[in-house]
Amino acid sequence: MDVSKGTITKVAGPLVIASGMRQANMFDVVRVSEQHLIGEIIEMHGDRASIQVYEETSGLGPGEPVTSTGAPLSVELGPGLVGSIFDGIQRPLMEIMRQTGTNLTRGVEVPALNREKRWTFEALKKAGDVVEPGDVLGVVQETPVVAHKILVPNGVFGTVSEIHSGHYRVTDTVARVRQENGETMSLPMLQKWPVRVGRPYKRKLSPDIPLVTGQRVIDTMFPIAKGGVAAVPGPFGSGKTVVQHQLAKWAAADIIVYIGCGERGNEMTDVLNEFPQLKDPRTGASLMERTVLIANTSDMPVAAREASIYTGITIAEYFRDMGYTVALMADSTSRWAEALREMSGRLEEMPGEEGYPAYLGSRLAQFYERAGRVIVNGSNDTEGALSVIGAVSPPGGDISEPVSQATLRIVKVFWGLDANLAYRRHFPAINWLTSYSLYLDSLQDWYVKQVAGDWMTLRGRLLALLQEEAQLEEIVKLVGMDALSASDRLKLETARSIREDFLHQNAFHETDTYTSLHKQYLMMKLILLYYDRSIKALQDGAPIDGLVTLPVRERIGRVKYHSEERVDEEYAEIETRLTHEIAGLLEQQEQ
Amino acid sequence: MPTEYRTIEEVAGPLMLVRQVQNVKFNELAEIELPSGERRLCKVLEIDGSDALVQLFESAAGINLAQSKVRFIGRSMELAVSPDMLSRVFDGLGRPKDGGPPIIPEKRMDVNGTPMNPAARDYPQEFIQTGISAIDGLNTLVRGQKLPIFSASGLPHAALAAQIARQATVLGDHEQFAVVFAAMGITFEEADFFIQSFRQTGAIDRAVLFINLANDPAAERIATPRMALTAAEYLAFDRGMHVLVIMTDITNYADALREVSAARKEVPGRRGYPGYMYTDLATLYERAGRLKGKNGSITLIPILTMPEDDKTHPIPDLTGYITEGQIILSRELFRKGVTPPIDVLPSLSRLKDKGIGEGKTRADHANTMNQLFACYARGKEAKELMVILGESALTDTDKLYAKFADAFEAQYVSQGSQTNRTIEQTLELGWELLRILPRSELKRIDDHFLDLYYDRN
């Protein structure tokens, strides 16, 4: 293969232009200058290639060499991914720290996956088996919870001629497959895949199973489906990152890929420190044992930020192809779009809205479209799902800007964060009046069958009460609380209870941080039980002040702090107590 | 001897085009020598074949296309560092300004720094007691945090920053402490206020000052914060000191950035600021923090004045997305005579949760903090309602909330610029105020803390 060698003619920030690159392909990875900085060709004009360089370009100048590697930007896939932290182009940050110290220097060459470590490979196929791409050759127990399946790579059809269990490094051959054309392929555990190309699957499925997150406002009000896409836009300080972290912690997924894209360094450190300590409520193992981190913080080179979300989603797809439920969090897609804008500006492209390139919308759509619940490749028709949750950071919290708008055109779930709720310390600050989930209809059957027949009815009633509250508050602002009828006051009180006792959820409280669907159901029921009984008592002549100040209401408010095991018992007790107190109130009234 | 070029083709604003250069590198520092013999610093912004686009750090006045000479120095901008920097005053480009001798460098550091490896960061969680209740109690500052003050013209942000610099301590700790102060385009009076304040408390002996005043060249401001942070990195990570960096005013820095960008005819982002301003600000702010295996820390307090008091203006907006919270000053509170006029509701410290609680401050801290926020928010709403409909429209509980909100502003927030409260005093004051409300209203506090503190007396 011809390797293109060129010469730098221009350097402008992360953009380098080199001549003599006629042989190179678009999107080839190149090595720039004697320092071997990593770059990618993003434009070709004759023999001049525009290259975005993934490292700091200080000190580069015209005349220095550029060499094409002849291959597009790819990630390494194989055992060793889980529990690791990589930068935007999959360089292992822990290993780099060991080699170069606390700060990132340039030109470091470290393979993404450890080449020395030996993994225990257990063969599931045997010689003579016919395989196709996506079939599982064997497994490596990568962490106590993740069985890393070694798949037949794309394009390999044939008969296994040799396969052995044993201890292998990722580059060692674990199996040989005789292909239909007579050639024998040696297959190591390590595979490569170009990040800008989605990994293939057989077909997509409809999104009719929810991704349970343990967050009440999400699971009950605005659920996301497995394989769904959601956006979390909000101004700074409204808790985007906490929402993303909560989902990464508690979402019912087998694998979490968390991309810190142009965000704070300390947030990644927080994840690195905290996740190993936290226990997955389903498996009891540490959360880090199912997490892959991609960190390209805001002070790291901007071009690698652009690549980071592709690196992340390719790794996520790889685990999806093993038949796992994968959830990917990208925090924040706005920073990715800014990186795109910066490169576009340096390329002197004609800008679209607010300086963003005209292809912003289509790039975003391509990214989100890689999500989905699918039948993966392979002969078994295994199901895998990849859900994507993207944070958006609109300037000033105003979602009329291009990135928010382009995102909203694609995603099905919108969790709109509200600065005013955050000021009142109502967290998660997801505004219940503006947020929506378009998966409700398709998820209805699942909730009815798996949780409770009246789940959707109760949910609808809660939301209706909140909506009425918003209208009543307008009236109160104009004419005061006294002008309201007793039943309207009861509505307001109930809505307050919904907000404070149900929607408000403390991410830092050990019990409140995760709520099972069953508990969510009981909590909903309790609040509505109070409302229904009170309305009836009101008709029977009970005084509104008495109903509003029932002592049992404080107990309803504390249900969220009760452990899952105790919640049924507590529900029964509160119900008895409520009946008793209302009866007492009516008796008093009669006397 | 580096080559001298007399091939300056254009000078426009802070930019200069030099032709027919050889072996010039991106980001390289250069020196321009005027016919008078005066030398000025500049750096390479873009290199295209044999054309170098150069940005001046000083004024372009007096540059003569025919006779001025440009020398490329072969390295990027560096700062000479040594422990002798303490108690010295430098200009915006790191040259002594106090009449003292030049620094004999222990080493030279690239002012652009290198990004910290996220895996090498140590999470900031040591509580810093600033002695200011609105910060310690509600928006706790921790070592290694970057917490900006969002102010506006005419508000006393300088007094607040000076108070923090004066009073900040870490409980039970006697490690070495230093202040690095970077002034960007502020007036002489404001800079002098800080210097006097450092002098009064003796802090000047452990302070390094970089001063770029309003009448100094705007382009110099682009280098000033980098100088300051480089000095801070040296003191923190080479010398193991705990460094508090105060930078004022970021708005002037951003305007200088806009000036250079406009001169380059770049496609502007919002309000004419360059599209890369987020990244540029991040490369400053993210240099704060702690590193594994190193003793020191950099705590960063940038001050910015919000144009038109508008928090959604690009400068505060982008800053807020990078920093770990913000302290917001309010004109309304200032008019009411509340000192410091910290508006606690939109203020936020993102790192507070890890810096408070048992063993750091006190076990009830998190609970009371949330309760105070919630009560003050509700109290303010009640007061708004009262303005429209009169006091009689409020329920009895809401009247208590309104009373709470007033007491909170007068006693908790308004403590004056000389009072230094310990964290115990701040927490006790919080409880005293919460006792205005009936116990059943305090839903965010665990029962056993209520038993322990509410009913005491």
A219-255: pLDDT as tens digits: 999 999 999 999 999 988 888 888 999 999 999 999 9
Q: Which residues of A touch B322 (CB under 8 A)?
A: 264, 298
- Taking the C-alpha atoms of residue B294 and residue A99, their distance in angstroms, rounded to an integer, is 17
Q: With an 8 Å Cβ cutoff, are A62 and B292 in contact?
A: no
Answer whether 0.90 is exceeded by the pTM: yes
- Taking the C-alpha atoms of residue B72 and residue B51, their distance in angstroms, rounded to an integer, is 13
Tens of pLDDT, residue by residue over B142-168, are 999 999 999 999 999 999 999 998 898
Q: With an 8 Å Cβ cutoff, are A11 and B283 in contact?
A: no
- Taking the C-alpha atoms of residue B297 and residue B239, their distance in angstroms, rounded to an integer, is 10
The pLDDT-based confidence of A589 (bands split at 50, 70, 90) is confident
The minimal CB distance from A102 to the residues B292, B345, B393 is found for: B292
Angle in degrees, 0-180, between the axes of helices A486-497 and A455-479, rounded to the nearest 10 = 120
Please report the pLDDT score of residue A471 as a whole number. Answer: 94
Q: Which residues of A touch B287 (CB under 8 A)?
A: 299
The pLDDT-based confidence of A3 (bands split at 50, 70, 90) is low
Q: With an 8 Å Cβ cutoff, are A264 and B324 in contact?
A: yes
CA dihedral in degrees (A116, A118, A121, A126; nearest 10)?
A: 60
Tens of pLDDT, residue by residue over A301-324, are 888 999 999 999 999 999 999 999
The mean of the pLDDT values for chain A is: 93
Tokens standing for A245?
Answer: 């972290």
Top residue of A299, A338, A553 to mutate, by most chain B CBs within 10 Å, is A299
Q: Which residues of A touch B354 (CB under 8 A)?
A: 270
Neighbours of B202 (CB within 10 A): 10
For B216-271, the DSSP string reads: S-GGGGGTHHHHHHHHHHIIIIIT--EEEEEEE-HHHHHHHHHHHHHHTTPPB-GG
Has residue A1 got a pLDDT over 80? no
Mean pLDDT of A539-566: 91
Has residue A127 got a pLDDT over 60? yes
Has residue B457 got a pLDDT over 90? no
Query: Percent of chain A at pLDDT above 90?
Result: 78
Q: A480 to chain B: nearest residue by CA? A: B393
Top residue of A425, A478, A502, A548 to mutate, by most chain B CBs within 10 Å, is A425
Q: With an 8 Å Cβ cutoff, are B119 and A94 in contact?
A: yes
Q: With an 8 Å Cβ cutoff, are A60 and B270 in contact?
A: no
Q: A262 to chain B: nearest residue by CA? A: B279
Q: Which residues of A touch B112 (CB under 8 A)?
A: 56, 58
Find tokens 């993303």 and name the residue: A244
The minimal CB distance from B47 to the residues A10, A423, A477 is found for: A10
Please report the pLDDT score of residue A2 as a whole number. Answer: 53
Has residue B429 got a pLDDT over 70? yes
Please report the pLDDT score of residue A93 as a whole number. Answer: 94
- Taking the C-alpha atoms of residue B45 and residue A538, their distance in angstroms, rounded to an integer, is 75
Q: A273 to chain B: nearest residue by CA? A: B123
The pLDDT-based confidence of A103 (bands split at 50, 70, 90) is very high
Q: B376 to chain A: nearest residue by CA? A: A424
Three-state secondary-structure class, residue A494: helix
Has residue A98 got a pLDDT over 50? yes
Top residue of B28, B77, B110, B117 to mutate, by most chain A CBs within 10 Å, is B117
Please report the pLDDT score of residue A364 as a whole number. Answer: 96
